Structure 1
Amino acid sequence: MHSVVLTKGVPDFREGQVSFDEDGHLERGATPTVMNPNDEFALQAALQTKVKQGGRVSVMSMGPPGYESVLEEAMGVYADDLYLLSDREMAAADTWSTSITLSAGIEKIDEEPDLVFAGFKTADGETGQTGPQTSWCLDRPIVTHVISLDVDEADGKLRAKRLVEGDVDEIETVEAPLPAFVVTDPEFEPSYRRAEHRLRHKRLVAETEERVEEYEDHLTTWSAEDLELDPDFIGLDGSPTIVSGVDPIPKAPSEREATMVTPDDEEGMEEVLETMRPMAGGD
């Protein structure tokens, strides 16, 4: 059973990590890049599949050379091998040309994947389009909003429960033939009910923790030429999306007053300690 997980690098939006220019626009070069948080659910789903079915888990991303750190982070969750699709020709791609590139990368892997996993949506785009569009390029059945899944390799089927949101949230159980495409929901929870599965999960996590220290030995990088991609269909030239404008991100107003205290201000430090002491005692 071979699974491929798609991931993307996004700005680290945690407080204190994001850098903006004077107009309120995000400065990507000055903001750390991390693995898209929703992609961890896809990684957990692929890991669960490996624990129960065996096989191999590959992780793939499209981006600049700096995205190697994103793949390193992904391997920290779990991966047997890593693929980075990186080329200036791929830059400034919208979701459509990204999907074309990713589908070409998936098709180039020597072993056709039984399952391709993607996260719900990215923290910097929020469109949720890349997964379904990549599935369309691969001509595979797709199951979205997956919160649990199981694979019947003998029957060549995927059985999944998916969250259907509406006036009242419902759980829908569906089947799809393999090979298939899965988009995990943030509500996805891996399940390891059997003791042998829990032990195998523990062993695989320990193995990937060792492997991540030398992740570059497990990394393959492909250019547009390697993937035999037409420059007219990838990157900015292959993107039909037209951005009419970008609004600055509003700066949140401060809701609390702050008193600055330096370490050499003995009186001020004593006041800080007096303020914190009741909290440290649990009061």
Structure 2
Amino acid sequence: MRSIVLTKGVPDFSEGAVSFDEDGHLERGKTPTVMNPNDYFALQAALQTKVRHGGHVTGMSMGPPSYASVLEEAMESVYADDSILLSDRELAASDTWATAITLSAGIEKYQEEIADVDLVFAGFKTADGETGHTGPQTTWCLDWPIVTHVLALDIDPDEGMLRAKRLVEGDVDEIETVEAPLPCVVIADPEFEPTYRKAAHRLEHKRLRAETQERVADHEEELTTWNHQDLNLDPDYIGLDGSPTIVSSVDPIPKAPSEREATMVDPGDDDGMGQVLEELQPFATGD
């Protein structure tokens, strides 16, 4: 069973980590990059498949060289066997369509040069764009079936079939069971929870975790980088030139108003530190 998990780096939006300029625009160069939170569920779906059916898992991302750390984090989460980074300047400023073209080209190159792929896993949406377009657009480029909002899944290797439960949102949320032939793309829902009911599966999960710790330590040895020439992509159809999305305007993010006053105390100020102790002491005693 061969799987590819698509993942992306996004700005770290946790409190205190995001950097804005004086106009309220995000400064990506000064903001730490982390793995897209929704990709975690895709990683868990891929890991469950590997634990139950064995095989090989590859993490794949498109982005700058710094995204190698995102793939390293993905490897640690999904116990992936290796990673592929699609990266060069021609790919910069891609919208979802140009990104999908690049990712599908990466998957096709993988199939031509490495092995056939049974499953591609992707997250529901990214924390920065939140369009939810990249997974379905990549599927369209591959001309594969796609199952979205997946809550639970299993594979029948003999029949080459995916069986999944997916969330259907409407006036009333419903869950439907669907089947799709392999290869196909799975978009994991944020409600996805892996299950390991058999003792053999729990033991295999433990074995893979121990095995991956050594591999993550030498992640660069397991990382392959392909540029647009490796993927045989025309620069006119990727990056900014190949992105049909037009941004009409950008509104700065307003700075949150301060809701409380802060008193600065120098640790060397005995009187000041005494006042801090007096303030905290009632909480330490439970009052």
TM-score (normalizing by structure 2)? 0.96
Match in the other structure for 1:201: 205
TM-score (normalizing by structure 1)? 0.97
Match in the other structure for 2:17: 17
Equivalents in 2 of 1:180, 1:37: separation in Å? Answer: 22
8 Å CA contact 1:21, 1:27 repeated in 2: yes
Equivalents in 2 of 1:160, 1:139: separation in Å? Answer: 20
The answer as to 2:83 corresponding to 1:82 is yes
Match in the other structure for 2:139: 135
Give the aligned length. 283
Residues 1:248 and 1:51: Cα distance change in structure 2 (over 3 Å): same
**Percentage of identical aligned residues:** 76
Residues 1:258 and 1:103: Cα distance change in structure 2 (over 3 Å): same
Residues 1:280 and 1:54: Cα distance change in structure 2 (over 3 Å): farther
Q: CA deviation at 1:30?
A: 0.5
Structure 1 residue corresponding to 2:265, chosen from 261, 264, 270: 261
* Superposed CA offset, 1:182-202 (max 9, x none): 000111100000011011111
Match in the other structure for 1:224: 228
Match in the other structure for 2:35: 35
Equivalents in 1 of 2:216, 2:266: separation in Å? Answer: 40
Q: CA deviation at 1:267?
A: 2.6
* Gaps in structure 2 of 5+ consecutive residues: none
Match in the other structure for 1:54: 54
Equivalents in 1 of 2:160, 2:267: separation in Å? Answer: 65
- Letter paired with 1:103: S
Q: CA deviation at 1:46?
A: 0.3
Residues 1:135 and 1:273: Cα distance change in structure 2 (over 3 Å): same
- Letter paired with 1:162: R
Q: CA deviation at 1:272?
A: 2.4
* Superposed CA offset, 1:120-150 (max 9, x none): 1000000000000001101111011111111
Match in the other structure for 1:95: 96
Equivalents in 2 of 1:176, 1:282: separation in Å? Answer: 57
Q: CA deviation at 1:209?
A: 2.0
The answer as to 2:130 corresponding to 1:126 is yes
Considering only aligned residues, what root-mean-square deviation do their CA atoms show, in Å?
A: 1.2
Equivalents in 2 of 1:4, 1:234: separation in Å? Answer: 21
| Aligned 1:150-169 pairs, distance under 5 A | 150-169=154-173
Match in the other structure for 2:214: 210
Deviates more, 1:235-244 or 1:164-173: 164-173
Equivalents in 1 of 2:5, 2:206: separation in Å? Answer: 20
Equivalents in 1 of 2:179, 2:163: separation in Å? Answer: 5
Q: Residue 279 of structure 1 aligns to a residue in which SS?
A: helix
| Aligned 1:184-199 pairs, distance under 5 A | 184-199=188-203
8 Å CA contact 1:77, 1:208 repeated in 2: no
Match in the other structure for 1:240: 244
Deviates more, 1:124-133 or 1:153-162: 153-162
Q: CA deviation at 1:41?
A: 0.7
* Gaps in structure 1 of 5+ consecutive residues: none
| Aligned 1:97-116 pairs, distance under 5 A | 97-109=98-110, 110-116=114-120
Residues 1:282 and 1:204: Cα distance change in structure 2 (over 3 Å): farther
